[in-house]
Structure 1
Amino acid sequence: MDGKVMKEADVAEVGKVVKETEVAEVDAVSTAKCCCCGLVEECTLAYIMRVRERFGGRWICGLCSEAVKEERARSKSEEKLITMDEALKRHTKFRQQFRSSATDHKKDFIDAVRQIFFRTLDSPRKKENFACRPLGRSSSCFPTMETTPPRTTGTHTE
């Protein structure tokens, strides 16, 4: 025999390597996006495949999964048990009806600045009796600062 024919041990070794590779691929972490709410999660490929198998090829997050199961159980008490696909459609429709619109953060910031601006304009100002003493410049050209003497209030103790 020439070197091109593989021995049974070699074939078994190749099969073992292929199985280990398949297991490693299934255990690899991947991201999946929920078809209902858009949540992105990191999951193993095995988990993603199980969820997709359960929900007709769609991947949904755990919270939406529980909501779909609850929708299906609720329909059982109303009439006949609905399919998983119908429960998923009902949950998606319900979620879209009550989804709040995204807030515009730029508009919120502008409104807050506007409110502060108007409060500042409306607040009364004291022209006298400053809380702090004003600073006076010295006669030199260096930036040495000296304070002005404190004001007297007019009451003297003798």
Structure 2
Amino acid sequence: MAISSAQVEVEFAKCECCGLTEECTPAYIARVRERYQGRWICGLCAEAVKDEIFRSDRHINAEEALNRHMNFLQKFRHSSPPTNPAEHLISAMKQLCRRSLDSTRFLKSTPSIPLRKEEQVRRSSLSRSGSCLPALAR
């Protein structure tokens, strides 16, 4: 039995938040655009949007979370003009991780808020076991 290998069609899609370009199938691009009100965003920004929803004091939808994330990136770009796009992306992700860790620390220090089991699992997965800065300094 012979198996023919069909060539997968791919396109380049540019993230409307951070400008990162990814190679994706048209079907994937369509699913992302459907999820984010016609905008295409990369996987990193999609995770940041999920984090915005999770960290919010009140229930917000994906559109509001996306707008918050885009505002965050816009403020970040104005405060530190990129010298190198890769350094800019790394710096933005570092700030995002710090925000996530800070919000986790706050949430862990407020035990009066009852958590559902799935929220406890998600929040515990963001805990920090140690500093990575000495490893980066090498």
Q: What is the match of residue 67 of structure 2?
A: 89
Residue 28 of structure 2 is aligned to residue 47 of structure 1: yes
Structure 1 moving runs of 4+ over 6 Å: none
Q: What is the match of residue 63 of structure 1?
A: 44
> Residue 102 of structure 1: CA displacement?
2.6
1:36 partner SS: coil
- Structure having the larger proportion of residues in strand: 1
TM-score (norm 2): 0.52
Q: What is the match of residue 106 of structure 2?
A: none
- Structure having the larger proportion of residues in helix: 2
Structure 1: runs of 5 or more not aligned: 1-23, 105-158
Structure 2: runs of 5 or more not aligned: 1-5, 85-138
Query: Hey, what's the Cα distance between the residues in 2 that align with 1:44 and 1:36?
Result: 20
Query: Amino acid of the residue matched to residue 11 of structure 2?
Result: S
Aligned-CA RMSD value: 1.9
Please give the residue correspondences for 1:137-156 in structure 2 after superposition, counting only pairs within 5 Å.
Answer: none
TM-score (norm 1): 0.45
Query: Hey, what's the Cα distance between the residues in 2 that align with 1:69 and 1:102?
Result: 25
Query: Hey, what's the Cα distance between the residues in 2 that align with 1:68 and 1:38?
Result: 15
Query: Hey, what's the Cα distance between the residues in 1 that align with 2:42 and 2:52?
Result: 15
Query: Amino acid of the residue matched to residue 35 of structure 1?
Result: E
The total of aligned residue pairs comes to 77
2:12 partner SS: strand
Identity of aligned residues (%): 62
Query: Amino acid of the residue matched to residue 94 of structure 1?
Result: F
> Residue 96 of structure 1: CA displacement?
1.2
